[in-house]
Chain A
Amino acid sequence: DADVTQTPRNRITKTGKRIMLECSQTKGHDRMYWYRQDPGLGLQLIYYSFDVKDINKGEISDGYSVSRQAQAKFSLSLESAIPNQTALYFCATSETGTGSDEQFFGPGTRLTVL
């Protein structure tokens, strides 16, 4: 089984709809991240969380919100989706105190907003 899972893997929605993307991990990591990937723009950080009670904005948080329901779960919401939020979204995890800063990425969710 995959260590970092994302649901759904693909989603098509309409402008103005509320969308939630979910991320779960079985790695036992304390840190979780949401990234957006657009062609030619690399990976841009939306939000990150260092533990259940910690939420931080990234480079492009406008139009997004997150919820860290448990150590293993981190959800990304688009309250009112717009077409320029069409992108590939990745969740990632990492662990504090191991001496490694490696991030482990999920398989991604492809979101299309019409």
Chain B
Amino acid sequence: GENVEQHPSTLSVQEGDSAVIKCTYSDSASNYFPWYKQELGKGPQLIIDIRSNVGEKKDQRIAVTLNKTAKHFSLHITETQPEDSAVYFCAASRGTGNTPLVFGKGTRLSVIA
């Protein structure tokens, strides 16, 4: 089955700097890669996702890149703000809707003002 590795487990950045979180996956048939943000005391919430037919997707300060050959994908947050502090999870699935997501173990991001 699918296995998703996520690094780093914790990340501290100064406000205004960029943050990068990386994930690798094992199932070459996976084609859907979402990123979820979990704020303290809440459930995870989707912030961006990418499918294997594109290599990059942006949404304001957030971007995700995908390298299918190397089987890794990354989340990039630019101009970080204190409200970006949260736990971020990557995930992967075959995207058919019939195979569930497999999540990475999470990255705790702290943005220091």
Q: Which residues in A have some Cβ–Cβ distance to B below 8 Å?
A: 4, 33, 40-45, 48, 50, 56, 58-59, 90, 92, 96-97, 101-103, 105-108
Interface residues, chain B, with chain A CB atoms under 8 Å away: 6, 9, 32, 34, 41-46, 49, 89, 93, 95, 97-98, 100-106
Determine chain B's interface SS by DSSP, over half rule.
loop
Given A41-B105, A42-B106, A102-B34: A108 and B43 interface contact (C-beta under 8 Å)? yes
List of A residues within 8 angstroms of B101 by Cβ: 45, 101, 103
Q: Known: A40-B9, A42-B106, A106-B43. Contact between A48 and B100, CB under 8 A?
A: yes
| A101–B95 CB distance below 8 A | yes
Minimum CB–CB distance for B78 against chain A, Å: 23
How many pairs of A and B residues are in contact by the CB < 8 Å rule?
51
A–B pairs, 28, beta carbons within 8 Å: A4-B43, A33-B100, A40-B9, A42-B89, A42-B104, A42-B105, A42-B106, A43-B44, A43-B89, A43-B103, A45-B100, A45-B101, A45-B102, A48-B100, A56-B100, A58-B100, A96-B97, A101-B32, A101-B49, A101-B93, A101-B95, A101-B97, A101-B101, A102-B46, A102-B49, A105-B45, A107-B43, A108-B42
Contact partners of A102 in chain B: CB under 8 A: 34, 46, 49
